[in-house]
């Protein structure tokens, strides 16, 4: 089964028609800034309900029944109005309020419901907000949790640099969270290394004077 060529939703062109579930369709999936990595993660899937008979490299699947598919395929089908996405269990206002409150109480990082909680939230709110109950509240709660964790991460990084540590262990961080501080930490450590290197000759000559 092929999608109509040049189909569009929300002003985004999907390009030439591709067999659903094929390698060509996989290459045609949308590239979505920091969320792109979640598309290729083998263990990261979304549940959806199709409104047509699905046949291709994956399937076949029947309409009206929940099925789990890779994230890239779920978003591709949703953009073409071929399915309804079922949000993850944790994407619930009550559960996210508990997660946010727990994160605020703890000094350390608490486990997140998914290692891709931020990526999945961005994807689903951008492309399937009509399938997410209380989407605006979900957006706010995830953002609050993210901000709290980023504040902790900045404090941890600042302490790490000030104390001139050479290694550190931090649990329960996601890949996206680590990437946000990678540039700062690598630059700071490089600067510390250069300072130490420049000081060593001076310290050596000073000791020889005595």
pLDDT tens-place string over residues 63-99: 888 999 899 989 999 999 999 999 999 999 999 999 9
The span from the CA of 192 to the CA of 204, in Å, is 18
80: three-class secondary structure by DSSP? coil
What is the pTM assigned to this prediction?
A: 0.71
pLDDT tens-place string over residues 170-193: 789 998 998 887 777 777 777 777
Q: Is 90 exposed, middle or buried (0-12, 13-18, 19+ CB in 10 A)?
A: middle
The span from the CA of 3 to the CA of 12, in Å, is 15
Q: Is 207 exposed, middle or buried (0-12, 13-18, 19+ CB in 10 A)?
A: exposed
């Amino acid at each position: 089964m092929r999608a109509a060529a040049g189909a569009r939703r929300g002003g985004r062109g999907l390009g030439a028609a591709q067999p659903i579930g094929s390698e060509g369709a996989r290459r045609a999936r949308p590239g979505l800034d920091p969320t792109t990595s979640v598309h290729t993660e083998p263990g990261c899937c979304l549940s959806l309900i199709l409104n047509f008979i699905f046949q291709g490299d994956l399937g076949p699947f029947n309409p009206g029944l929940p099925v789990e598919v890779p994230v890239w395929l779920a978003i591709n089908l949703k953009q073409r109005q071929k399915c309804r996405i079922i949000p993850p269990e944790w994407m619930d206002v009550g559960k996210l309020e508990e997660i946010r409150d727990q994160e605020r109480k703890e000094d350390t990082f608490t486990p997140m419901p998914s290692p891709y909680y931020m990526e999945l939230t961005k994807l689903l709110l951008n492309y399937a907000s009509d399938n997410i109950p209380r989407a605006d509240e979900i957006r706010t709660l995830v953002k609050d949790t993210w901000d709290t964790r980023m504040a902790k991460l900045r404090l941890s990084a600042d302490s790490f640099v000030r104390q001139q540590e050479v290694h550190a262990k931090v649990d329960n961080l996601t890949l996206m969270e680590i990437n946000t501080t990678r540039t700062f930490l690598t630059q700071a450590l490089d600067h510390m290394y250069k300072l130490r290197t420049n000081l060593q000759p001076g310290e050596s000559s000073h000791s020889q004077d005595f």
